[in-house]
Structure 1
Amino acid sequence: MHGLHRIEADPIDLLRTRTSAKWRSYDPEVLPLPVAEMDYPLAEPIAAALHRAIDRSDTGYNAGPEAVAHAFAGFAATRFGWEVDPARVTCTADVSMGLVEVLRRVISPGDRVVVTSPIYPPFFDLVTEAGGVVEEIPLLGGIRDGWSLDLLAIEAAFASGVRAMLLCNPHNPTGWVPARDDLAPLADLAAAFDATIVSDEVHGPLAQPGSPYTPFLTVSDAAREHGVAVTAATKAFNIAGLKAALIITASERGDRLRDALPYEVSWRMSQFGSIATVAAFTDGGPWLDGVLGSLDDNRRLLADLLAEELPGVGYRMPDATYLAWLDLAALGWGDDPAATALERAKVALMSGPTFGAEVGRGHARLNFACSPEVLGEAITRLADAT
């Protein structure tokens, strides 16, 4: 699938010299596996592009979206078969900021916005920041059978006046990759009720080859008319600190939405973010393939480790992302087992209830974009703490 090529994680001693959130939020004895940062070395084309920028003192204002938009269009066409019109791309600092700005254009203060829990915790805050009210509609299914959208509940929400939905495609924290058959009826519902689907697709490049992700704007005419995609190179290429993201539309309705964005939105993209993003989308493919191979190894290793050392823990191997959604209820560690894991095992996980109070109870999210040794040590520590 990936050949033999792998990108290996940096040694733990080198990782502990990093100053990013993952490595500065906990005491040194803690294995930090909550924050969505990867332990792999930066892709060489990105590092080289940034070094060249430093050498020419290229640290002024970013010149606009053109270079990023064209680089992404090439990447999207090659990897996803997605034809993106670079003229229909607006850039900003990060995906969360893009989601908020799009929501502000499509809702009025007090309007409800659907989020599908368990969901990336900032989604709840982004809706509020945009002036909306969260309408939480949990995914159907679960770790045992897999997940799906509750289309009947979403239809009822749209029928009752909900104006927008935040879609996470692929889904964080479950790693579920919605198929075209999941997304097409959602687009039809948005068209029927004149709602907008705002799709966070930042994990799209991290879908495994056997489970390719479907960009929402490729699904149908209804999706192109009523969808807005927000994405970035930041998750797949581990450059979140460099601040660059893309807001993409595929219809005249979408064009009007982007045209209505405040002038400053596009000036928020950083110069280094732009430079790194162009390098990632243009020359980062081989590195990304190596990372996907390592993540494939680790998602399977995690299944083996849990079966051996923590057989009561529920885990469904994710088809995308480097995040594992774990049902730890069997350990008896209460509603928020991440707190117990940190206290007893010195393993930092992301708190399950923050992904949705009800559906997250007894759960936690684990980041497996690390070395096999760190992953093994983490599971051993958790097992020893039971």
Structure 2
Amino acid sequence: MLEVTALPLAELRARTSEKWREYPDDVLPLFVAETDFPLAPAITAALQRAVAAGDTGYVASRTPLADSYAAFARRRFGWDPDPGRMRSTADVSMGIVEILRRVVAPGERVIVTTPVYPPFFELVTEAGGVVERVPLRDTGTGWELDVDGIRSALDDGARAILLCNPHNPTGTVHSRDSLAALAALADEYGVAVVSDEIHAPLVQPGTAFTPFLSVNDAARRVGYAVVSASKAFNLAGLKCALMVTASEETTAIVRRLPVEVEWRTGQFGLLAAVAAFSEESDVWLDGLLHTLDRNRRLLADLLAEHLPGARYRIPDAGYLAWIDLTALGWGDNPARRILQDAKVALHYGPAFGTEGAGHVRLNFGTSPEIITDAIERIAALVGR
């Protein structure tokens, strides 16, 4: 298997992206969802060809992006989406907003399943909606959708559901059964489900990922998926995502979006995404998943050894760890103290909703050495 290893710290500190520019050099940045690995070789080659050729103009009206994603979905998820039912845009967040604007009226409520990716709250507001929080159910060993809570919110008038699948920050991969129950509810109440599936390529082997639109006819009637290579392949700055539909009605809604929504796609983002979704990049992605598997387990071992009061469930997808530090008595937002006193930057738990009190989100998409250093620094605060 191809070994995908993080770049040395000195090289990472030369990067100019948010992760490496937000804080001084004495801080280990494990907050924002960027990874520390070199690009997949096929992506590097595609971008180098474009630069050499001066291929830096507008995105074309006809591109291989949709076909590339459809082939990727068949190989990786056993799903066969129709390339003719896809449109591109700049990123997943933009796709979510543009779809929500068409499926909810100003002031209507949109369900989000907290704790959840913090921009979800702002995206709903930007689209003119009002956030309706329905927390995930803690099963004692993991998290799942609270279908009864969602039904109650729909009974009370909510008009759309913004789904995170796989879920950020918990790394939960929603089961086919729970997604089918969600689709049935949405179909019964005549509401849309917008599924953010940006972390789907990062589901670990042994865990089955179910694209929402693949679940059943009800899901295809009510659903929209927004997908991107950006999280798995670290391409966020290049700006490319796809809005995917699976019925005549939902496809018509996306097709009616202004052409400018599609033209916001970045040319480099599109070229990089086509390379990422190609078979040539599968070996790299498998190597990345192997690296992330080792890192997620290393983190569990380090927490057990150095911070036994921490509660952490190994995620099934992604490179983000949701850690409960309540038992340490560091308040509702322990990331503040950790940043100030340990010089480790983690994402603030309360930003994910009230369920995030006492929690932090840690990005383990980096080297074992950085993960180990970070946990040892945090552990040194215990008893101080």
**How does the TM-score come out when normalised to structure 2?**
0.98
**Is the contact made by 1:105 and 1:260 (CA closer than 8 Å) also made in structure 2?**
no
Shift of 1:65: 5.7
Aligned to 1:360: 356
Report the counterpart of residue 147 of structure 1 in structure 2. Answer: 143
**Cα distance in 1 between the residues matched to 2:374 and 2:149:** 38
- Deviation string, structure 1 residues 20-53 (Cα, Å, up to 9, x no partner): 0000000100000001000001111000000000
Whether the 8 Å CA contact 1:65–1:89 is kept in 2: the answer is no
Deviation of 1:66 after TM superposition, in Å, equals 3.4
Q: The residue matched to 1:128 in structure 2 has which SS?
A: helix
Aligned to 1:380: 376
SS in 2 for 1:236: helix
CA contact under 8 A between 1:65 and 1:91: conserved in structure 2? no
What do you get for the CA RMSD once the two structures are aligned? 0.9
Q: Structure 1 vs Structure 2: percent identity of aligned residues? A: 59
Q: Cα offset for 1:205?
A: 0.3
Matched, 1:90 2:87: yes
Indicate the residue corresponding to 1:315 in structure 2: 312
Q: Does residue 201 of structure 1 match 2:184?
A: no
Residue deviations 1:291-318 (CA, integer Å, cap 9, x gap)? 1000000000001000000000000000
Paired amino acid for 1:275: L
Identify which of 23, 29, 45 aligns with 2:20: 23
Corresponding position of 1:284: 281
Alpha-carbon distance between aligned partners in 2 of 1:257 and 1:378, rounded to the nearest angstrom? 46
Deviation at residue 64 of structure 1 after TM alignment? 3.1
* Counterpart among 325, 328, 331 of residue 328 in structure 1: 325
- Give 1:262 deviation, angstroms: 1.9
Q: 1:51 is matched with which residue: 48, 51, 55?
A: 48
What's the secondary structure of 2:210's corresponding residue?
A: coil
- Using the TM superposition, name which of 260-269 and 35-44 deviates more: 260-269
Deviations 1:164-188 (A, max 9, x none): 0100000000000001011001000
Specify the code of the residue in structure 1 equivalent to 2:341.
Answer: R
- The alpha carbon displacement at 1:6 in A equals 2.5
1:101 maps to 98
**Residue 156 of structure 1: CA displacement?**
1.5
2:299 counterpart SS class: helix
Task: State the Cα deviation string for residues 55-82 of structure 1 (Å, max 9, x = none).
Answer: 1100000003631101001100011011
For 2:153, which of 141, 150, 157 is the aligned residue?
Answer: 157
Q: Deviations over 1:325-358 (max 9, x none)?
A: 00011111111000010001000000000000x2
Q: Which secondary structure state, in structure 1, belongs to the residue aligned with residue 243 of structure 2?
A: strand
State the match for 1:294 in structure 2: 291
Take 1:98 and 1:191, find their aligned partners in 2: how far apart are those partners? 22
Q: What is the rounded CA distance, in whole Å, between the counterparts of 2:339 and 2:309 in structure 1?
A: 19
Partner-residue secondary structure (3-state), 1:235: helix
- Partner residue in 1 for 2:75: 78
Distance (whole Å) between structure 2 residues aligned to residue 259 and residue 239 of structure 1: 25
Which residue identity lines up with residue 240 of structure 1 in the other structure? A
Using structure 1 for the length normalisation, give the TM-score. Answer: 0.98
- Which amino acid in 1 is paired with 2:175? A
How many Å separate the matches in 1 of 2:238 and 2:107?
33
Report how far residue 385 of structure 1 moved: 1.4
Shift of 1:261: 1.2
Q: CA separation in 1, counterparts of 2:288 and 2:259?
A: 36
Q: What is the aligned partner in structure 2 of residue 257 from structure 1?
A: 253
**Aligned partners of 1:196 and 1:53: how far apart in 2?**
39
Q: Helix, strand or coil: the match of 2:35?
A: coil
Letter in 1 for 2:169: P
2-structure distance, mates of 1:248, 1:228: 6
Deviations 1:227-264 (A, max 9, x none): 00001000010110000000000001111211221221
Are 1:65 and 1:90, in contact at CA under 8 Å, matched by a contact in 2? no
Question: 1:192 — aligned with what?
Answer: 188
What's the CA shift for 1:363?
0.3
SS of residue in 2 equivalent to 1:359: helix
1:244 corresponds to 2:240: yes
Work out whether 1:127 is the aligned partner of 2:132: no
Please tell me the residue identity of whatever aligns with 2:67.
Answer: H
CA distance in 2, matches of 1:66, 1:179: 33
Q: How many angstroms does 1:212 deviate by?
A: 2.2
CA shift at 1:381, angstroms?
0.2
SS of equivalent residue, structure 2 residue 321: strand
Letter in 2 for 1:285: D
Q: Number of aligned pairs?
A: 381
DSSP-derived class of the 2:316 partner:
coil
Say which SS state the counterpart of residue 177 (structure 1) adopts: coil
Residue type at the aligned position of 1:287: W
- Relative to structure 1, the CA distance from residue 194 to residue 65 in structure 2 (aligned partners, 3 Å threshold; closer, same or farther) is farther
Distance 2:62 2:91 in 1: 13
Q: Name structure 1 gaps, 5 residues minimum.
A: none
- Name the SS for the 1:246 alignment partner: strand
Change (3 A) 1:77 1:65: farther
SS at match of 1:325: strand
Give the Cα–Cα distance (whole angstroms) in 2 for the partners of residues 256 and 312 of structure 1: 52
Q: Does 1:228 align with 2:224?
A: yes
